[in-house]
A and B are shown apart, each in its own frame.
Chain A
């Protein structure tokens, strides 16, 4: 089998400008939704009580909601969880009552409506834990960004580091934008997925940049654009197969992993799709706009140091 029978180098960078405008628009849209709607944060961040209740028959969500809201909760979320017989109830933290009383009260109310209701699980989080998680999450994000930038700057060149990190933040913001737009629950597991995507998507850019560096060594007369195009073209088969395989696993998690892994898998799916796109068009294009040159990557070659604004003398016309 061979899926990719590519005769010619595909001129990816010819479309860079248009695609960059599109990705900037998507990015802006994601930021807009993040600011406008905000993330639907899970109980781990907000504090409160989440109860999972199982029924013998399919649960009537409306009735459950009614029973709980009668207890005087202004804001209560009831949704089915996994199967139609399992219901998840989220209660905001209430003053003057501890979680024990809260859950006992709710269970009692539910049992009067339907005696088959049984409590499967309960999770109670104090608000100060949530604040800490948020700061720690941001710290982790910061450390990933700085760590990756330093590594790439040492192994490659600062322009690549900047391009890669920008492309990755683009992915992360877009995932968050999706979660804000659809109001999917943003839990700790999703945070883990987002940070994993950050590492994973760098992976992608690194493979392409690695090839760019190699191409600079190999084809001394090719233009920068040609070299980037060639690098993306010759790694595209690997890119798609790798992401395809990872996606297979993620889909398996999505379908078989149960409700807990549902949003985790979803975040990864978005991350994988945008990861392909961003490493080809965002990272490579930014590196191109930043003006990467042969000398940036191949140190030790007797390239002209003076007059660095001039074009590379070795870079002839595109062959």
Chain B
């Protein structure tokens, strides 16, 4: 009656083994390590890099106890922080010969101390959230309206060029919010233009209006195109952030999309918020425009006269005004690289720029038409523009050209960084920021761990005292539950946060419910005079329905939390939901396995060790029957 077939025991053993292996890495703690990752998109960290690293370490007399290559970064683990620092310096020398142009980022890091055989089984420890190890956490909001406005502006300028090229005369193109308006002198021109837009600009839809002798065409960006645009803008911003953060040399940064227009950035170990914000906060977009060299423009620039129509005034970093045409020639999207260097002839610092094909073509046309005129490079931060530099064009430019002039070496490096990383597709703003000190993180993890441990111990003592052997079985089931929970979280590579630990503690409390239900049921059956084996059987059987119902309802709450929660609530919900599922397995299937293993083979079982089964004096069914 209370026997499991062999295959059920086999499942239990397999689950236990897997659970053990995957929860193990969490218990080894962390060891100092050095992380090597690529600083440029052109550089790859691969097995060749691994060879170089191994060799460099060997010549320096250092042997890492583990060297792993994973997801484009290489980690070497060392026994002591001392060796770690030595290794960092060695690798820095070997891999980064020129500090002004680093191909690799060599950063200090911590990796799990778990042995190599566990790592080779892909058993990794859980990732600790920032609240448990300290660091900075930013939530960035991407200005999608800004992205679409900008795209509309670029459509407007494209239309202008196209109409000119195709010889459609007498048009005037202007951007009105997110739409582009074109007016025509006659209906024939409108029809030609409409046809042209349909053929060449599939992302636009047009509507025509006529008022008097004025023909007008309104071009709107199609909704699906706008969505694609937003998606692309977000992706590009994430890439840009990756580049910027790489410059910080942070080990294991997290840069993730959240929702439709938000990006989460977590920088573990960074305590200097100001520095991090400085790098991130260069939420800038780069634009190249011509300087307005007309008489009015010059006048406005020199003596502060009115800014001519079609131009805008921006300030240079030293405060000098520059009058710039509104039309954008090229944006940062077309810029593929910017490197600081030295001009061979004048021996002055310079910045080398590389454009993509489209940008290069525009630069060639623009430079030919505007020889000896000035071109401004503007950077926009939070909607406000600033002129980075406004050099004059000294020749025909291609897709590679240089900026030189009165710059120091540091300024050139700075400008190169800004130009290179400045190509955000849409402006961003930090809307939430959290810093957790490393001691606070350590405190949190210790306190969280303690509360789980003491809670667990208290329950275990009570269960064993109250339910005797069955209580012990329940306690073992509870421990298994905890182990499986940790194992699943590790397998999912979930991030453990303080609310996650709280959910773990709560899971212990909730998981014991199933065991209590079962044990009480078994006692009740015994009280009603059932035989030992029958009582066990009926206890588990009858409790099952109740356990299922109550756990499903709890699970519904957990899933709602998961669906609508964010941040800490989500961290809580993940553990809560998994905890409910593992508790069903451990409390019902596993604990029954234990009981069956212990009692199942005893044919003439007289009594069950489940604590006192109190019977009322009158008759065995007094409680159940009422008076």
Contacts and interface: CB of A to CB of B under 8 A. Distances in A.
A233 B627 CA distance: 12
28 contacts: A7-B616, A9-B627, A100-B273, A100-B277, A119-B435, A119-B437, A123-B432, A129-B432, A148-B557, A189-B568, A192-B561, A196-B503, A204-B550, A206-B553, A207-B546, A210-B545, A211-B546, A234-B624, A242-B517, A245-B509, A248-B509, A249-B451, A249-B458, A252-B454, A253-B455, A253-B505, A258-B447, A261-B502
B565 A136 contact: yes
B553 A191 contact: no
Interface residues of B, number: 84
B556 A199 contact: yes
B564 A245 contact: no
Contact of A250 (B509, B520, B563, B567): B509
Contacts of A255: 451, 454
Q: Which applies to chain A's interface (DSSP): helix, strand, loop or mixed?
A: helix
B506 A196 contact: yes
Nearest to A3: B466
A50 to B, nearest CB: 9
A100 to B, nearest CB: 6
Nearest to A51: B435
> Which size bracket describes the interface of A in this complex?
35 or more
Interface string A174-195: 0000000000000011011001
Interface string A128-145: 110011001101110110
A316 interface: no
Interface of A: 1-2, 5-9, 44, 52, 82, 99-100, 103-104, 119-126, 128-129, 132-133, 136-137, 139-141, 143-144, 147-148, 151-152, 155, 188-189, 191-192, 195-196, 198-200, 202-204, 206-207, 210-211, 214, 219, 222, 226, 229-230, 233-235, 237-238, 241-242, 244-253, 255-258, 260-261, 264, 268, 318-319
A47 B566 CA distance: 16
Contacts of A264: 499, 502
Contact of B432 (A82, A126, A200, A211): A126
Contacts of B431: 125-126, 128-129
B587 to A, nearest CB: 12
B622 A7 contact: yes
Nearest to B468: A1
A242 B513 contact: yes
B572 A192 contact: yes
Contacts of B466: 1, 241
Contact of A246 (B509, B555, B576, B626): B509
Given A7-B622, A257-B451, A261-B451, A125 B557 contact: no
A200 B554 contact: yes
B165 interface: no
Given A9-B627, A234-B524, A249-B509, A123 B553 contact: no
Nearest to B457: A252
Given A122-B434, A122-B435, A319-B626, A203 B576 contact: no
Interface in B125-146: 131, 139, 141
Nearest to B137: A123
Contacts of A133: 566
Given A136-B566, A253-B455, A260 B444 contact: yes
A134 B596 CA distance: 49
A195 B513 CA distance: 18
B439 A120 contact: yes
A151 B626 contact: no
Contact of B549 (A104, A210, A246): A210
A151 B552 contact: yes
Given A7-B622, A140-B565, A203 B553 contact: yes
Given A122-B433, A133-B566, A241-B520, A195 B440 contact: no
Given A143-B563, A252-B455, A260 B557 contact: no
Contacts of A237: 520
Interface in B434-472: 434-437, 439-440, 443-444, 447-448, 450-452, 454-456, 458-459, 462-463, 465-466
